[in-house]
Chains A and B, each alone.
Chain A
């Protein structure tokens, strides 16, 4: 059983995992206790978690013996994020110009309509200080732990480093399918499928870091039922079948789960508490059902849906804090239809509370006629914890910006299926970010005009120089000797 309970009967087809439950499950010791949590590429003490305020408490919570419930936390990050503040060990990550990367055929390549494309990133500057790409950390870990993909039959290390891994990894020994499609084969003469090529990185570099296979014109269009293309793709192991690709309105896979839940399947069957859940949700045909959370909370008390979305300007940069982008979005408002606001007694720009069954946040409202009156929404991940991301503790992000995640629960209220079911799709485990129900009401007259919850400002870390007074410029260099600074 995985820590996040992915692929269990609770979320049988959860190929993306249930990251949002990892910390809560580890804290509760369900399905088991852990001794080490390694986080990378996610800001789990802030915008990557639901129920953020409580998840932050879980990260430092102790059991009755005085031991931390999550004893050892390792965080790999290139920035001073909210999560880094909780780390026992920080592994400083590189930024993207300091490391090798692959936009691989194995995971969302950048294909074009006229043929498959993948690309790589080759570092242009060496990493600073002790920074190390997190991929190197993972390969190091995999090799030392002896994970099968990372060791030879005799148990010795298989890959020197990440670039070596990208070139030489094959999906199974001799399959000829690896991360990169271009310049495969011993001398780089093959594509899509072929033996590892020791000079593959160089060949990508020579070709602008991109491999693009241009299909013949007749293969370029209607590819889901272009026979020539489908056969070509099959011959090059791009697809398993050469049959036309159609959307299966009736899913045999889902029907098997339903049969299992109904006891009509010879194989494994779900536990009793989950049988109805599996039977209801594994409908082989498309169906509508209200979000699970709506059936379990009082929708009269909490009449509104609350949504978040990433701002376009910061879509791929929320794992950084850019001086220009933060001028565009330096804090966020809750967008409310004017009629919804009127019914709840507040005006445009007023400070309000957004309360869900688990928590509440204070923020500012902005009227918008583009919002459905039963819904409110805000930009995600504009709000930051005070002092994080190298920002001043007075930065707008922490004082006026807010995080809706505080009111979104990572678990459903207790129900027939269990007391601690993840707030996720019962089939795929997709986090139910948009299922939260809230009520909104104006803040009291005397309340401070800052967002709530607030957290103790993060401490400055080595390298973040304390603010110097302007007067110090006049004596710059005067205390070199005293500070033992070499000329």
Chain B
């Protein structure tokens, strides 16, 4: 597939935003359980706004993918059948809940409403955060399923796609949370950094598994089945046009194998290796800037990772567009 930068930015930006929100809420839960020192409302409020801004940026990026963004509202109608439609509902839902979560914190509306079992005080932020968590996981699922539900594109048609989107989003979000904490001078750098490393390692596992899987399989259909001529030596001579068409522009990446190998090694280093080393260094050196650097490098790596994700996908329609004369 031809990598679409609007979609690359959409999926990576909202991934970070969702991960950041999860990090904030996880932090709050830990604080609630007194496993971590409580943070100021401002920490959560600003963090939520950063998360929201990332989701919003992703939304804006997605509009560049559309031929008619002014009709985008229509995309909410087919949620019964279309994962894309479900994403269109999940994204604003998550944004709304994150906004409410941030607002609640901003206005300090954290007076407990009721107490469960005498130990768990439940306030608005906890409810909003809980709902937001649901929405964020739903959004991860929807976004990933857009790709993972396309049974013709075998490179994507796998639960691994969902796992990758989830782990890489969470990893980059926690990485940003670590950087944010370091920037704010809070004591959560180690906590977020640890979880970021754990998510990154999970992501490494599923992403490498995906690469391994995609290096192994053969497409279910071949040219014989595509044309219906069962001859062992069947070759296309003419595809019906010579100046290119939507079929040749949308479904071929047109990049050399050498470049793709380079991109693969680059993203494996930038997403998985370098950020983990930097976070460890930051922990050792108690650096405030290294977590930010770790996040920056990981995010750039994710852009390459998503680019590679598109180039990995071999669309069966490409069987029909191999030669011209």
Contacts and interface: CB of A to CB of B under 8 A. Distances in A.
Interface of A: 327-333, 335, 366, 368-369, 396
A396 B237 contact: no
Contacts of B233: 369
Of A327, A332, A368, A369, chain B has the most CB atoms within 10 Å of the CB of A327
Nearest to B241: A327
Contacts of B323: 366
Given A327-B241, A366-B237, A366-B325, 7 more contacts: A327-B242, A328-B242, A329-B242, A331-B242, A332-B325, A368-B325, A396-B243
Q: Which 3 A-B pairs have the closest CB atoms?
A: A330-B242, A366-B325, A327-B241
Contacts of A330: 242-243
A328 B325 contact: no
B240 interface: yes
Contacts of A368: 237, 325
22 contacts: A327-B241, A327-B242, A327-B243, A328-B240, A328-B241, A328-B242, A329-B242, A330-B242, A330-B243, A331-B242, A332-B325, A333-B325, A335-B325, A366-B237, A366-B323, A366-B325, A368-B237, A368-B325, A369-B233, A369-B235, A396-B242, A396-B243
Contacts of A332: 325
A329 B239 CA distance: 11
Nearest to A364: B325
A193 B240 CA distance: 48
Interface string B197-238: 000000000000000000000000000000000000101010
A98 to B, nearest CB: 30
A366 B241 CA distance: 15
Contacts of A396: 242-243
A368 B238 CA distance: 11
A152 to B, nearest CB: 56
Nearest to B242: A330
Contacts of B240: 328
Of A332, A333, A335, chain B has the most CB atoms within 10 Å of the CB of A333
A327 B324 CA distance: 11
Contacts of B235: 369
Contacts of B241: 327-328
Contacts of A369: 233, 235
Interface string B36-78: 0000000000000000000000000000000000000000000
Contacts of B237: 366, 368
Interface of A is mostly: loop
Contacts of A335: 325
A329 B241 CA distance: 7
Nearest to B235: A369
Nearest to A335: B325
Contacts of A327: 241-243
Nearest to A349: B323
B129 to A, nearest CB: 50
A333 B241 CA distance: 13
A204 to B, nearest CB: 39
Interface in B237-276: 237, 240-243
Contacts of B242: 327-331, 396
A396 B241 CA distance: 12
Nearest to A328: B241
A330 B238 CA distance: 12
Contacts of A331: 242
A331 B233 CA distance: 26
Nearest to B240: A328
A332 B242 CA distance: 10
A449 B166 CA distance: 48
A369 B231 CA distance: 14
A349 to B, nearest CB: 9
A368 B325 CA distance: 10
A366 B235 CA distance: 12
A369 B237 CA distance: 10
A367 to B, nearest CB: 8
Contacts of B325: 332-333, 335, 366, 368
A332 B235 CA distance: 18
A335 B325 CA distance: 9
A372 to B, nearest CB: 16
A449 to B, nearest CB: 16
Contacts of A328: 240-242
Contacts of B243: 327, 330, 396
Nearest to B323: A366
Nearest to B245: A327
Contacts of A366: 237, 323, 325
Nearest to A330: B242
Contacts of A329: 242
A324 B106 CA distance: 62
A133 to B, nearest CB: 34
Nearest to A379: B325
Of B240, B323, B325, chain A has the most CB atoms within 10 Å of the CB of B325
Nearest to B244: A327
B166 to A, nearest CB: 43
B61 to A, nearest CB: 26
Nearest to A382: B242
B236 to A, nearest CB: 11
B233 to A, nearest CB: 8
Interface string B283-325: 0000000000000000000000000000000000000000101
A366 B239 CA distance: 13
A311 to B, nearest CB: 10
A329 to B, nearest CB: 7
A328 B243 CA distance: 8
A328 B242 CA distance: 6
A327 B241 CA distance: 5
A369 B325 CA distance: 14
Contacts of A333: 325
A335 B238 CA distance: 12
A50 B45 CA distance: 81
A331 B242 CA distance: 8
A329 B242 CA distance: 6
A328 B241 CA distance: 4
Of B240, B242, B323, chain A has the most CB atoms within 10 Å of the CB of B242
A335 B242 CA distance: 16
Nearest to B233: A369
B111 to A, nearest CB: 59
A369 B234 CA distance: 10
A131 B237 CA distance: 42
A368 B324 CA distance: 12
B244 to A, nearest CB: 9
Of A332, A335, A366, chain B has the most CB atoms within 10 Å of the CB of A366
Nearest to A348: B323
B324 to A, nearest CB: 8
